């Protein structure tokens, strides 16, 4: 029995036409205007994004504007230090704007253009998604409205500056706790009124259909490139493929091309500072089935079934749910989910900086930390790690809380 053969027709089977990955996914919004808007969106995506013209234009943008393909880099210094395991990095930190998020933002921007829309709407928490979307809007000559809680605006000044420089409007949200949750509500509200002229762009492979499918498709360029590059460099497949999981976009894009291969796939969730609810954001590891933000998946809920408070030192990973495709692949036992703590991630950040001259984002450092943990077992195997972004945004935080890594053993 070869368990991987079940995945030969995977892309044809999942999601179904209503956006279900098994029992997960779908569209559970209750606003009829929004349901109409998302149905139009799904239809637009299914027809336009398959056209050869769209595909050719996106390919050109990826090459000339984003700088793709990003390299697959064999970390020889790091691998030698750790022993016999060979670690390879898929360098999404070298994608234009410094992270993988631009992969789906450029796709969504191009779709907006083809659908005749004038504006991109989104919310942002830490600001990374807002910056990527503002970049896409500038490229396509579209307006861009980014909804952001007032608390986040105060905390994330450099990203607010970037968005404004790129020509986006940053709209402060003053309701409730003034953070991401309220910004999501405000962005949905705006979209329900403006959907004839605007499209909404989510920051990860989650949300109502068609987002989990569409974002997965646009992010799949990571895994497609990495697989071909690894085979070209080594003549065989890797033993393991690893990526960090927030909402799950860089990871699902990395993983899907390897599903039918005899390769172990590992999603790394943020273990934060402990196992209590509120101390981590490890949705698959500690969560259960539930509906939030208009889709069914595995989530961390409080006693009232509302999204629970989450924590990680990587702000891009602190989301209380995971995209529905991850939930299904977890149930199918095809992807293994593990946790890495704040401390372990920071150790990995220091090690990669000093050993290879690459400063990774704290999010990406979670994936790397797991690969380092595995490599310390000393097996002669190879691991691809998706380095989802660069660490520039994290420098002040890291140095203030952890110094320069003087105590790390190399
Ligand atoms: C946003 C972000 C993530 C987490 O998002 P996913 O949708 O889970 O990929 C990871 N790494 C970086 C650098 C990010 O900016």
Q: Is ligand 1 within 6 A of the CB of residue 101?
A: yes
Is 105 noted as a catalytic residue in this protein? no
382, 84 Cβ separation under 8 angstroms: no
Q: Of 96, 100, 129, 280, which one is the catalytic site residue?
A: 100
Of the candidate ranges 117-126, 301-310, 391-400, the one whose mean pLDDT is the lowest: 301-310
Query: pLDDT value at position 375?
Result: 98
335, 266 Cβ separation under 8 angstroms: yes
Query: pLDDT value at position 2?
Result: 56
> Sheet holding 86-91: strands in order across?
72-74, 86-91, 382-387, 240-244, 264-272, 335-341
Of the candidate ranges 15-19, 133-137, 152-156, 225-229, the one whose mean pLDDT is the lowest: 152-156
Q: What is this structure's pTM?
A: 0.97
User: Closest residue (by CA) to atom 1 of ligand 1?
Assistant: 316
159, 130 Cβ separation under 8 angstroms: yes
Give per-residue pLDDT as tens, 345-376: 999 999 999 999 999 999 999 999 999 999 99
Q: What is the DSSP letter of 284?
A: H
Place of tokens 């409205």: 145
> Sheet holding 169-173: strands in order across?
169-173, 143-149, 119-123, 198-200
Query: pLDDT value at position 206?
Result: 96
Least Cα distance to 114 among 62, 57, 188 occurs for 57
Closest ligand 1 atom to Cα of 361:
13
**Is the pLDDT score of 158 beyond 90?**
yes
Query: pLDDT value at position 1?
Result: 42
Is 75 noted as a catalytic residue in this protein? yes
The pair of structure tokens assigned to 319 is 């989301």
Of the candidate ranges 137-146, 148-157, 222-231, 274-283, the one whose mean pLDDT is the lowest: 148-157
Q: Is ligand 1 within 6 A of the CB of residue 249?
A: yes
Average pLDDT over residues 230-251: 98
With H, G, I as helix, E, B as strand and everything else as coil, classify residue 129.
Answer: helix
Query: pLDDT value at position 5?
Result: 72
Q: Is ligand 1 within 6 A of the CB of residue 361?
A: yes
Average pLDDT over residues 396-403: 95
Q: At what angle do helices 52-64 and 101-114 cross, to 10 degrees?
A: 140
């Amino acid at each position: 029995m070869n368990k991987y053969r079940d995945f030969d027709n995977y892309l044809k089977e999942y999601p179904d036409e209503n956006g279900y990955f098994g029992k997960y996914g779908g569209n559970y919004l209750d606003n009829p205007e929004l349901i109409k808007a998302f149905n139009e969106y799904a239809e637009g995506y299914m027809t336009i994004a398959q056209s050869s013209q769209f595909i050719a234009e996106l390919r050109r943008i990826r090459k000339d504007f984003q700088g793709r393909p990003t390299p697959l880099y064999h970390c020889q210094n790091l691998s030698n230090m750790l022993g016999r395991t060979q670690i390879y990095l898929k360098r999404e930190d070298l994608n234009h704007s410094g992270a993988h998020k631009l992969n789906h933002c450029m796709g969504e921007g191009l779709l907006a253009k083809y659908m005749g829309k004038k504006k991109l709407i989104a919310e942002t928490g830490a600001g990374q998604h807002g910056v990527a979307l503002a970049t896409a809007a500038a490229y396509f000559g579209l307006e861009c409205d980014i909804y952001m809680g007032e608390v986040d605006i105060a905390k994330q000044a450099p990203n607010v500056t970037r968005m404004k420089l790129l020509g986006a409007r940053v709209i402060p949200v003053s309701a409730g706790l003034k953070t991401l949750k309220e910004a999501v509500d405000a962005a949905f509200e705006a979209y329900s009124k403006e959907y004839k002229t605007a499209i909404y762009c989510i920051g990860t492979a989650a949300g109502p259909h068609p987002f989990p499918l569409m974002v997965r498709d646009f992010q799949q360029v990571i895994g497609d490139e990495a697989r071909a590059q690894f085979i070209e460099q080594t003549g065989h497949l890797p033993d393991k493929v690893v990526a960090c999981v927030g909402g799950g976009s860089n990871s699902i894009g990395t993983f899907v091309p390897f599903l039918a291969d005899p390769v172990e796939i590992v999603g790394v969730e943020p273990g934060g500072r402990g196992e209590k609810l509120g101390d981590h954001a490890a949705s698959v590891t500690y969560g259960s089935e539930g509906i939030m933000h208009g889709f069914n998946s595995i989530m961390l809920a409080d006693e009232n079934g509302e999204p629970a408070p989450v924590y990680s030192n990587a702000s891009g990973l602190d989301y209380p749910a995971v995209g529905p495709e991850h939930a299904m692949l977890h149930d199918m036992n095809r992807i293994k989910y593990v946790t890495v703590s704040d401390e372990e991630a920071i150790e990995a950040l220091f090690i990669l900086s000093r050993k290879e001259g690459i400063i990774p984002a704290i999010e990406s450092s979670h994936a790397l930390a797991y690969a380092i943990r595995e490599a310390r077992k000393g097996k002669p195997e190879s691991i691809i790690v998706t380095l989802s972004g660069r660490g520039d945004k994290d420098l002040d935080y890291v140095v203030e809380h952890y110094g320069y890594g003087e105590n790390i053993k190399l």
